Structure 1
């Protein structure tokens, strides 16, 4: 799996690392049980600090997409549907922020979409 970042983007590098993994899960390029590349190797290849990669991995762990353990590395635990929804939610938040929406306005918009589609 290839992790990519765009140094010219305003999106934090750790978030870009996490987004790349989310996308790979959503597209079926990664499956539960597969290991992610070692954070040290990713940091070396991307020419970023290892803590940047680890922050991205920790975010994925907090989202329930990977299991992250010292000595074992990062292992995918999520199902693709969960990853697709998480990626879509992340994109919604980014778009809402760019449009100047508040958190409460964004949630209200999501709720209205939820009730319209029910």
Structure 2
């Protein structure tokens, strides 16, 4: 699971982190019942303080997206059946393209060529 946050985006970091996790749940990259990384691991992955990761988890819990189980971690609580793994793969592809400096038109050209 790759979660990214915009370091220069608007709002507090914990809200941006929660938004990244929320998007991954909604588009199917993280499925119902799936265990999320421990807050310490998530914090290390995205380069934030562990308290920031915990605050993002609490926000998602309050929104009903995840369940927090003391000592056992966090799991996805919402079943979003109309989203598919394809949506998650597309999201990952776009993020990978951005990380590698591939612009939108070049990515679309690559997809068109692969479709043939």
SS of the residue corresponding to residue 80 of structure 1 reads: coil
**Whole-Å Cα distance in 2 between the matches of residues 45 and 65 of structure 1?**
21
CA offset digits 1:55-108 (Å, max 9, x no partner): 000000001110012211010011227xxxxxxxxxxxxxxxxxxxxxxxxxxx
Q: Which structure shows the higher helix fraction?
A: 1
Q: Could you tell me which residue of structure 1 aligns to residue 9 of structure 2?
A: 9
**Whole-Å Cα distance in 2 between the matches of residues 46 and 24 of structure 1?**
14
Q: Could you tell me which residue of structure 1 aligns to residue 72 of structure 2?
A: 72
Shift of 1:45: 2.2
Residues 1:51 and 2:51 aligned together: yes
Provide structure 2 residue ranges, at least 5 long, that are not aligned to the other structure. 82-116
Q: Which runs of 4+ in 1 moved over 3 A?
A: none
Shift of 1:11: 2.2
Aligned residues: 82
SS of the residue corresponding to residue 68 of structure 1 reads: strand
Cα RMSD of the aligned pairs, angstroms, is 1.7
TM-score (normalizing by structure 2): 0.65
Provide structure 1 residue ranges, at least 5 long, that are not aligned to the other structure. 82-118
SS of the residue corresponding to residue 10 of structure 2 reads: coil
SS of the residue corresponding to residue 37 of structure 1 reads: coil
